[in-house]
Amino acid sequence: MKYSNVALEGLAYTLPDEMVTSAELEARLAPLYTRLRLPEGRLELMTGIRERRFWPAGSLPGDHSIVTVQKLLETSERDPAAVGMLVHASVCRDYIEPATACRVHHDAGLPADCLVYDVSNACLGILNGMIQVANAIELGQVRAGIVVGTEDARPIVENTIRMLNSDESLTRDQMKLAVASLTLGSGSVAVLLTHRDLSRSGSRMLAAHGRAHTVGNALCRGTYQPVPAADGSISRVAPVMQTDSEQLLIEGIAAARPTFEGFLAEAGWSRGDISRTICHQVGSAHRKLMLSTLELDPARDFTTYETLGNTGSVALPITLAKAAESGTLAAGDRVALMGIGSGVNVLMMAVEWQGGAF
């Protein structure tokens, strides 16, 4: 996919106030750690994640997506009436139906002649939404569009801790399937794409290339399970995720290698042309293997997983926004956005950075 008319015009993100360290999670897992004789500090040692953030209990993803879209419109100084497309693209959503995008659209004051819907594709949802908006701009269907999403890690992390402590039959090997759930964090992000004629920043989305490697579709699966009450009845359902992290890493990197070669060809770049890389924020082991496999310089990579954890679909765009905010990105930088999502799918984008609204 190549683009001639798509500008990456603005990014906005919102983060929860509550910070939870890996040490605090391990303290809550004391019954499990004691029974299995696990050393404290292993979670941060294995993942490189010191802390993550959680939204207030009971809040809905749409609550935070509304705030983030409003922030994006304000910082980019855009008239809501100019937005022709709104995609809500996180794993987390308010309800099975209607689309979470509907409430965000209403509360953000977007126009009636705006395409409004949800998209979900694990950790690639926001990037997939960006592709859809970019395609619509390139085809002349819309002039500007917003992709937004909010991930809420609190329910799955808390349910994982409950399960690990309550099931006394769990072995060390079985516990490994829950480690990925403990790395999750919360956040919200919104991305504004416009036709280049409307651009004030000059930042361009040049190309994208994706690849499906769905042999790995069973390696990470999230669902809901019943939670029994004290009297044995079912009090509620709660999210649960099981992840074969080691095999998912192997399959993800296997898919990334050919995707990267196709990405370079699509963008017309060589490895040496890449000024900065922004990858999906899984953790230290994933980052190290990804960059070494693709022969990319770690010094050119920017990360946030250390303090935000794995924030799912919003991780990569939040990291891009923070890289820009910190002054890491300079005008003229060629930035490779490299996303991998369970399933396994890979999507990479080429951005020529000039600036933007934050």
Tally Cβ neighbours within 10 Å of residue 80: 16
**For 95-135, how does the pLDDT look when each residue is reduced to its tens digit (9 = 90+)?**
999 999 999 999 999 999 999 999 999 999 999 999 999 99
218: left (phi over 0), alpha (psi -120 to 50) or beta: alpha
User: What residue segments make up the domains of the chain, in order of their start?
Assistant: 207-217+243-352
Q: Which one of the listed residues 77, 97, 168, 295 is annotated catalytic?
A: 97
Q: Which CATH class is domain 207-217+243-352?
A: alpha beta
Burial class (CB in 10 A: 0-12, 13-18, 19+), 138: middle
Burial class (CB in 10 A: 0-12, 13-18, 19+), 124: buried
Within 8 A by CB and 6+ apart from 78, the residues are: 10, 72, 144, 192
Tally Cβ neighbours within 10 Å of residue 319: 24
* Contact (Cβ atoms closer than 8 angstroms) between residue 179 and residue 117: no
| Residue carrying structure tokens 């937004």 | 148
**For 271-327, how does the pLDDT look when each residue is reduced to its tens digit (9 = 90+)?**
999 999 999 999 999 999 999 999 999 999 999 999 999 999 999 999 999 999 999
- Residue 160 pLDDT class (50, 70, 90 cuts): very high
Is residue 123 annotated as part of the catalytic site, yes or no? yes
67: its two tokens = 């705030």
- Count CA atoms closer than 13 A to 70's CA, side-chain side: 12
250: left (phi over 0), alpha (psi -120 to 50) or beta: alpha
Please tell me what DSSP assigns to residue 103. H
Tell whether pTM > 0.85. Answer: yes
Instruction: Please report the pLDDT score of residue 309 as a whole number.
Output: 97
Is residue 220 annotated as part of the catalytic site, yes or no? no
Q: Which one of the listed residues 92, 102, 123, 279 is annotated catalytic?
A: 123
Tally Cβ neighbours within 10 Å of residue 20: 19
